[in-house]
């Protein structure tokens, strides 16, 4: 299965936030979406996860139409979205948050196995299973948000700014774990990031958005080597 986005258009009232965006992400690959603030990165992700309505175009995950139905139907079809701002339930413990991610899964034995995988990926969470989420650091909350998304056993994971507001050392750790999830679970990931260099280093492919349109796209390694991309987005 692949994620195939064609000629996607999204309007916010009179403002065109996304204009004719097309790209494909193959199964088991990590694609970074980078660009300046206001480029339309988060709008793109919210549209793919069913939170924003598209004006025109198409977006499919395999046979599943991402532009129709509610966000819940996308989750049941293997699509999970981690929104910007570490979306966890503060009053619940780490373990309760993880269990919430597996709420709709019927096979509880498999869900328990997934929880073990999540704890292996994020040992810090394993040490804090009984702690309330609001006692965690920013980095730990981000780990929990990603872990909870993995609990729904997604095939396509949409990550919005996972490095936002985190210390450089924690960002490095989060990025490496995201790469590990892709490799160990054969997950397909679309990673929206302000930290362009960090995202490109772990990505297979990348899409550069500028004012809602695709400025360029290709292999992440090629984009890192492209002097125009380096000057505009990587700061050197």
Cα angle 166-214-68, degrees, rounded to a multiple of 5? 85
Q: What is the pLDDT of residue 233?
A: 83
In angstroms, rounded to a whole number, what is the distance separating the alpha carbons of residues 187 and 96? 24
Alpha-carbon distance values, 185 to 131, 149, 233 (Å): 27, 13, 30
Which domains does the chain show, CATH number per domain? 2-234 (3.40.50.300)
Predicted TM-score (pTM) of this structure:
0.93
The model's confidence at residue 1, banded by pLDDT at 50, 70 and 90, is confident
Q: What percent of the chain has pLDDT over 90?
A: 80
Q: What angle do CA 81, 87, 90 make, to 5 degrees?
A: 150
pLDDT value, residue 148:
94
pLDDT digits (tens, 9 = 90+) for 28-40: 999 999 998 889 9
26: its two tokens: 């193959």
Mean pLDDT of 128-134: 95
Average pLDDT value for residue range 43-60: 95
Mean of pLDDT values over 120-130:
94
């Amino acid at each position: 299965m692949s994620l195939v986005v064609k000629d996607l258009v999204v309007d916010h009232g009179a403002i065109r936030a996304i204009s004719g965006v097309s790209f494909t992400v193959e199964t088991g690959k990590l694609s970074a979406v980078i660009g300046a603030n206001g480029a339309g990165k988060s709008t793109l992700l919210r549209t793919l996860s069913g939170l924003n309505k598209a004006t025109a175009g198409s977006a499919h995950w395999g046979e599943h139409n991402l532009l129709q139905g509610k966000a819940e139907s996308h989750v049941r079809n293997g699509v999970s979205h981690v929104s910007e701002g570490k979306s966890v339930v503060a009053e619940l413990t780490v373990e309760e948050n993880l269990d919430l991610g597996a709420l709709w899964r019927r096979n509880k034995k498999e869900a328990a196995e997934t929880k073990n995988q999540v704890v292996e990926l994020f040992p810090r969470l394993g040490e804090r299973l009984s702690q309330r989420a609001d006692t965690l650091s920013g980095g730990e909350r981000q780990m929990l948000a990603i872990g909870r998304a993995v609990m729904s056993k997604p095939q396509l994971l949409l990550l919005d700014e996972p490095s936002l507001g985190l210390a450089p050392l924690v960002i490095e750790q989060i990025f490496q774990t995201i790469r590990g999830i892709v490799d160990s679970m054969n997950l397909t990931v679309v990673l929206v990031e302000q930290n362009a260099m960090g995202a490109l280093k772990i990505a297979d492919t990348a899409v550069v958005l500028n004012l809602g349109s695709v400025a360029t796209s290709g292999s992440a390694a090629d984009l890192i080597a492209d002097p125009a991309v380096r000057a505009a987005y990587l700061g050197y």
